[in-house]
Amino acid sequence: MINGESSGRFDLCTGSVTWGVKHIIIGILLVTLSLFSAAAVALVASELFLEQKDAVKTWVSVHVMGIAIVAIVWCLGLRHTRLPFAEFRLSQVKGPRIRTVLLMFAVLATSLVITSIYSAIVEWLAIDKLSPVIDYSDMLFDGVGVLLTFQAVALITPFYEELFFRWFVFRGLIPKVGPYGSMVFSAAIFSGFHISSLGVLIPIFITGLLLAWLYWRTGSLWASIGVHVGQNTLALLTTALM
C-alpha cells in the first residue's frame, strides 16, 4: 500500500512495474517519431482517395499509430512482466462493479463540465486562440463510411492512448514521484501530444488528470478506456449531427 491507500485499490507502484523514467523517455521519443512516420504513410494513402482525403488520412494514421504504440509499450514494458495480459485485470472483470461504473460516469461528466466552463470563460473573454472547439467534420467519411471514422477515433485511439499515457507513463512514474505527482506529469505529457491548438491544452490536461485518477482509483485500465471512448464518441456525434 502507498500513503495509506486501501488494499482494495490496485497497487500500481510495486510488483510488475519493471520500467522507469529512462524507458518512459525512450517511449516518448519513439512515439514522437512514430507520429511523423504515421503522418507520412497516411499522406501517401490519402492521395489514392482524393474525395475523402482527410478522412482516409485520419483513419490510416490512427491505425499506424496504434500498431506503433502497442509495439513500443510491449518492448519497453509489457514483455518484461510475468503475466502481460493480466496487467489489464481483464480476467478479474466478470461484470462492471457498480462503483466503477459510477466513477466512470462521474469522471466523464466532470470532464465535460470543466471543458464547458472553460469554453464559456474563453468565449466571454473573446480569446479565440484559446477556444477548445475542434472541427472534426473533415475527418468524417461520407455515408455508412462514417462508421470507419468512429471505429478509428472512438475505439482504437482511446485504447492505445490509455495504454501508453496511463498504463505505461503514469504507472511507470509512480515509484519516482508518487501517484499524484505522476498524475500531473502524465497529464502534461498527454496534453503535449494533443497540441493541435492552444485551446485544447488545458481541457486535455484536466482530462488526463481525471483519467489517471480513475485508473489509480479503480485499478483497471478498462475504466479509463471506457471514459475515453465516451468522450471521443460524444465529440464525433456532436460533429456528425451539426
pLDDT digits (tens, 9 = 90+) for 100-114: 899 999 999 999 999
- Most confidently predicted of 1-15, 69-83, 226-240: 226-240
- E runs forming strands in 52-110: none
Residue with cell 502524465: 186
Domain count across the chain: 1
Quick: pLDDT tens for 68-98. Answer: 999 999 999 877 666 555 555 544 544 457 8
Residue 7 lies in a domain: no
Residue 134 lies in a domain: yes
More confident residue, 42 or 1: 42
Residue 50 lies in a domain: yes
Residue 177 lies in a domain: yes
Tell me what pLDDT residue 14 has: 47
Residue 11 lies in a domain: no
More confident residue, 83 or 190: 190
Quick: pLDDT tens for 193-225. Answer: 988 777 788 999 999 999 999 999 988 889 999
Domain region containing 50 = 21-88+96-241
Neighbours of 172 (CB within 10 A): 23
Tell me what pLDDT residue 83 has: 54
DSSP string, 169-215: IIHHHHHHHHHHHHHHHHHHHHHHTTTTSGGGHHHHHHHHHHHHHHH
Residue 70 lies in a domain: yes
Task: Examine the pLDDT at 62 and tell me if it is beyond 80.
Answer: yes
Q: Which candidate, 220, 100, 229, places its Cα nearest to that of 171?
A: 220
Residue 102 lies in a domain: yes
Q: What is the pTM of this model?
A: 0.86
Grid coordinates representing 161?
492512448
Residue 227 lies in a domain: yes
Tell me what pLDDT residue 122 has: 84
Grid coordinates representing 62?
490512427
More confident residue, 229 or 85: 229
Tell me what pLDDT residue 7 has: 40
Tell me what pLDDT residue 181 has: 96
Q: Packing angle between helix 201-218 and helix 98-125, nearest 10 degrees?
A: 170
